[in-house]
Amino acid sequence: MIRHIVAWNINAEIPELEKTDVLETLKHELEGLRDKISEIKEIAVTIDLLNSSNREIMLSTTFQTVEDLNIYQNHPDHLKVAAYIRQVTCDRVCLDYISE
């Protein structure tokens, strides 16, 4: 199995009162990809991270193969969500690895 984990911070320009809505939207849109991209085996988005975290949102996905991850990354529905993510986040950390 292939694990794909990504974490972001929300742009500082987004008012604090709007951050919750942005995070909820990101969670909804990302987790909604499960019904659109069959290569996704598992997907979870966490927005209630502990204060010790240095990111505000985390995506964790599982794929059967590297090829499936590549299909996901280039899928039009993923690209649409990714465009929105780039608008509302200021950084990105990504970890991809083989999981037993």
Domain count, the chain: 1
Look up the domain containing 35 and give its range. 2-98
pLDDT at 76 over 90: yes
pLDDT at 60 over 90: yes
What is the value of pTM for the model shown? 0.92
- Beta bridge partners, 52, equal none
- Any idea what the CATH number is for the domain that residue 41 is in? 3.30.70.100
pLDDT of amino acid 62: 98
Contact in structure between 42 and 61 (CB atoms under 8 Å)? yes
pLDDT of amino acid 25: 97
**Tokens standing for 43?**
């997907």
Per-residue burial over 9-32, b = 16 or more CB atoms within 10 Å of its CB, e = otherwise? bbeeebeeeebeebbeebbebbee
